[in-house]
Structure 1
Amino acid sequence: MNHHLLLIIHLLSAAIWVGGHLLLCFAYLPQAFREKDPKIILNYERKYEAVGMTSLFFLVTTGIMIAYKYGVSIHFWFQFASPIEKVVSSKLILLLLTVAFALSAQFRVIPRLKNDSTHLSEMIFHIVSVTTIGVLMLIFGSFIRFGGF
């Protein structure tokens, strides 16, 4: 696939993924915190999940394809030998952290939150963490333009 088309799909997916999390952080979390109502977060998550997970799928897929176009195949992941490898490997570590937070939220925090709103602060921590990671991934990706870091 053409590099430019991959980049466009990657950037649109990043806009949806990071934008959706920023919206959650700055619009829905404060309201949920003020009202001590986890349903505000859970309702947003339920509506956003299909779009968000689809964009994440495209982000990962196009990210790997773009990495290969830059010569960073799986054999070079986590070697941190070249500036581009550093960016790719750093983003992969951040992706693994995102997956860890998502699994923790899905199987541990959300089930408890549905029955007990005292776990709201733990959910807020997960959301802010994933949002911060998403923004960092976006910033790290921008370094590709300059040859890496």
Structure 2
Amino acid sequence: MIDTIILAIHILVASFWIGGMLFMVLALSPYVRKLPEDLSVKSYQEVGKRYSLWGTVIGLPILFLTGLYNMNVMGVSYIELSNFSNSYAATLHHKIHLFLLTVILAVIHDFYIGPRSHINRKFRISARIIGVINLILGILIIFLAAKLRYGG
């Protein structure tokens, strides 16, 4: 029963992480771009701070911990991750590396570039590019998770 609860938490937090990024790109961004620049920047900053707290500071560590737990439940050892001994472990290896890249990019985006995006166009464009890259990585991670469901 606990295994199912941990997996459900993992899926829920992953849904929040990807759903939040999709919301930013598909709903918030088109709306905010129509606002005057000062209000647009302020809106992005406010929503970004809130999402950063829930998505990056709380969500990503939960995904990491529940992911490790799920890996243990599936019986995949750390040694198997490094030598690609089976297709499940190989896919999980790629998923973990994409996740780690996502974490690095999220930290750079949320705590360095994003908060400075009001300073100049370079920071604004960089924040947008990193955000889109992270969304694409997140979608790839979901694809790999679906692949794991069918044995890797």
Residues 65 and 108 from structure 1, CA distance in 2 versus in 1: closer, same or farther, beyond 3 angstroms?
A: same
Query: Is the contact made by 1:38 and 1:120 (CA closer than 8 Å) also made in structure 2?
Result: no
Residue pairs, 1:90-101, within 5 angstroms: 90-101=94-105
Q: Percent identity?
A: 26
In the other structure, the counterpart of 1:8 is 8
Deviating more after overlay: 41-50 vs 101-110: 101-110
Question: Which stretches of structure 1, 4 residues or longer, exceed 6 Å deviation after superposition?
Answer: none
**Which of 49, 72, 75 is the matching residue for 2:76?**
72
CA distance in 2, matches of 1:24, 1:43: 12
Contact residue 13 and residue 58 of structure 1 kept, 8 A: yes
Amino acid at match of 1:143: K
RMSD (CA atoms): 2.1
Gaps of 5+ in 1: none
Deviation at 1:30, TM superposition (A): 2.7
Please report how far the alpha carbon of residue 118 of structure 1 lies from its aligned counterpart in structure 2 after TM superposition.
4.4
How far off its partner does 1:24 sit? 0.9
Give me the whole-angstrom Cα distance separating, in 2, the residues matched to 1:88 and 1:7: 15
Relative to 1, partners in 2 of residues 1:14 and 1:29: Cα closer, same or farther, differing over 3 Å? same
The number of residue pairs the alignment matches comes to 148
Q: Which 5+ residue runs of structure 2 have no aligned equivalent?
A: none
Q: Please report the TM-score for the alignment, with normalisation by the length of structure 2.
A: 0.84
State the AA in 2 paired with 1:101: L
**What per-residue deviation string (whole Å, max 9, x for no partner) do you get for residues 58-77 of structure 1?**
21111111111122222332
Q: Does the 8 Å contact 1:29/1:124 carry over to 2?
A: no
Q: Counterpart amino acid of 1:100?
A: I
Say whether the 8 Å CA contact 1:105–1:126 is kept in structure 2: yes
Residue 147 (structure 2) aligned to one of 126, 143, 146: 143
**TM-score normalized with structure 1 length:** 0.85
2:59 corresponds to which residue? 55
SS state of the match for residue 81, structure 1? coil
